[in-house]
């Protein structure tokens, strides 16, 4: 059965690749009066240089290597520990890597509109996958510790509501991004405004989600002391509170990046002229790439599959019946594990 929480984000990133290819093809067919003879001479005032600077291969190489390393580790973790529902994040990491790869091309061809389009769409749209993964994770975590009553949004609707929001803002940003790279000034300005609207909606949605996540952790801490300490005897990489902390760190990092993107676009919203946040490479790496790297790399240490087991076929009713049966027979198995051991096991690599 189709499940929006797990499959729709993956399909959206396939769409983003198609958008990149389509717009890249269109851009390569655009004709103009031609770039300057030496595009490296004055990139800031070069009307054909969309970045307004020469992309640093050193910074690009570091970012490319770091994000690719995280993506490979997460791919291995999915195979080793499970949590296939985090695949949307992994796919987003590879598309993000591809965006950095395009920046190598911009270093040598700073006036290439086609390379810029690919880089722009991949870099600005890939974080939607990271956001979707966090949405899915909260629902999984709340069900795992059986505290869904402390999630302000009904847990069975949480993923659908927020992933649907992510889908909507993704499509708005994609549409705005395609228009934004147009050679027509008015079309490009309209694209910037559409993209800005998508970013604002995404920021509001994710800020709401972050507040819900923080409230959930707070309520469990205050009102469910047994649940809060149920993993206290386990190693830190088996304690659900560590995973909750990682989720909060990821949320804060993404909020920083979203705030930067909103401020960046706001500078050129009226006249279409890029501001200093856009034309200064240090801001891109310090307020966009670094926060996003933090948002995904935190799961290298706290991979959800190590905390949340995969149920084979048991339903909540089955689990309740098993617990009641264990109580009736005087079994002590419930004191050893939060879930009946006959009904779950970590996802295997098979």
Tens-place pLDDT, residues 39-48: 888 888 888 8
| Residue carrying the six token digits 């949605």 | 205
- Tell me what pLDDT residue 236 has: 87
- Tell me what pLDDT residue 335 has: 43
Q: What is the mean pLDDT of residues 157-164?
A: 88
Q: Are 153 and 161 in contact (CB under 8 A)?
A: yes
Q: Work out the pLDDT band at 177, boundaries 50, 70, 90.
A: confident
Q: Is the pLDDT of residue 36 over 70?
A: no
| Domains annotated on the chain, with CATH | 9-29+36-308 (1.20.1070)
- Tell me what pLDDT residue 113 has: 85
- Tell me what pLDDT residue 315 has: 42
Q: What is the pLDDT of residues 182-195, one digit of tens each?
A: 777 788 888 888 98
Q: What is the mean pLDDT of residues 107-132?
A: 91
d(CA 344, CA 318): 12
Q: What is the mean pLDDT of residues 249-256?
A: 98
Q: Are 176 and 170 in contact (CB under 8 A)?
A: no
d(CA 206, CA 166): 9
Q: Work out the pLDDT band at 157, boundaries 50, 70, 90.
A: confident
d(CA 292, CA 121): 16
d(CA 116, CA 121): 9
> 237 or 315: whose pLDDT is higher?
237
66-70, 139-143, 324-328: range with highest mean pLDDT: 66-70
Q: What is the mean pLDDT of residues 120-124?
A: 90
Identify the weakest region by mean pLDDT among 26-35, 60-69, 70-79: 26-35
- Tell me what pLDDT residue 323 has: 47
Please write down the HEC assignment for all residues of the chain: CCCCCCCHHHHHHHHHHHHHHHHHHHHHCCCCCCCCCCCCCCHHHCCCCCCCCCCCHHHHHHHHHHHHHHHHHHHHHHHHHCCHHHHHHHHHHHHHHHHHHHHHHHHHCCCCHHHHHHHHHHHHHCHHHHHHHHHHHHHHHHHHCCCHHHCCCCHHHHHHHHHHHHHHHHHHHHHHHHHHCCCCHHHHHHHHHHHHHHHHHHHHHHHHHHHHHHHHHHHHHHHCHHHHCCCCCCCHHHCHHHHHHHHHHHHHHHHHHHHHHHHHHHHCCCCCCCCHHHHCHHHHHHHHHHHHHHHHHHHHHCCHHHCCCEECCCCHHHHHHHHHHHHHCCCCHHHCCCCCCCCEECCCCC
Share the mean pLDDT of the chain: 82
- Tell me what pLDDT residue 347 has: 46
Percent of the chain with pLDDT over 70: 77
Instruction: State the pTM of this model.
Output: 0.81
Q: What is the pLDDT of residues 257-315, one digit of tens each?
A: 999 999 998 887 766 677 889 889 999 999 999 999 999 999 999 999 999 987 543 44
d(CA 5, CA 94): 20
Q: Are 236 and 242 in contact (CB under 8 A)?
A: yes
Q: What is the mean pLDDT of residues 62-88?
A: 96
Percent of the chain with pLDDT over 90: 53
Q: What is the mean pLDDT of residues 110-115?
A: 89
Q: Is the pLDDT of residue 255 over 50?
A: yes
């Amino acid at each position: 059965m189709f499940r929006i929480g797990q499959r729709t984000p993956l399909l959206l990133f396939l769409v983003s690749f198609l958008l990149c290819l389509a717009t890249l093809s269109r851009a390569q067919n655009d004709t103009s009066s031609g770039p300057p003879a030496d595009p490296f001479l004055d990139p800031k005032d070069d009307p054909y240089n969309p970045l307004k600077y020469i992309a640093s291969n050193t910074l690009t190489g570091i970012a490319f290597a770091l994000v690719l390393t995280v993506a490979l580790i997460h791919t291995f973790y999915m195979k080793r520990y499970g949590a296939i529902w985090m695949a949307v994040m992994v796919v987003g990491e590879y598309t993000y890597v591809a965006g950095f790869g395009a920046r190598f091309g911009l270093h040598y061809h700073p006036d290439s509109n086609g390379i810029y389009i690919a880089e722009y769409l991949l870099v600005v749209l890939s974080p939607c996958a990271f956001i979707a993964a966090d949405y899915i994770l909260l629902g999984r975590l709340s069900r795992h510790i059986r505290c869904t009553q402390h999630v302000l949004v009904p847990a069975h609707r949480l993923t659908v509501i927020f992933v649907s929001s992510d889908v909507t803002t993704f499509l708005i940003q994609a549409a705005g991004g395609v228009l934004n790279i147009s050679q027509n000034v008015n079309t490009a300005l309209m694209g910037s405004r559409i993209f800005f609207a998508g970013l604002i909606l995404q920021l509001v949605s994710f800020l709401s989600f972050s507040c819900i996540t923080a409230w959930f952790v707070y309520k469990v801490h205050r009102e469910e002391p047994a649940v809060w300490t149920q993993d206290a005897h386990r190693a830190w990489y088996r304690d659900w509170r560590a995973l909750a902390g990682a989720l909060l760190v990821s949320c804060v990092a993404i909020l920083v990046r979203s705030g930067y993107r909103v401020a960046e676009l706001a500078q050129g919203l009226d006249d279409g002229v890029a501001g200093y946040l856009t034309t200064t490479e240090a801001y891109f790496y310090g307020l966009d790439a670094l926060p996003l790297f933090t948002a995904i790399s935190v799961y290298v240490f706290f991979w959800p599959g190590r905390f949340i087991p995969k149920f084979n076929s048991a339903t909540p009713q089955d689990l309740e019946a098993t617990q009641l049966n264990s109580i009736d027979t005087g079994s002590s198995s419930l004191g050893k594990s939060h879930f009946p051991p006959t009904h779950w096991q970590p996802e295997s690599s098979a």
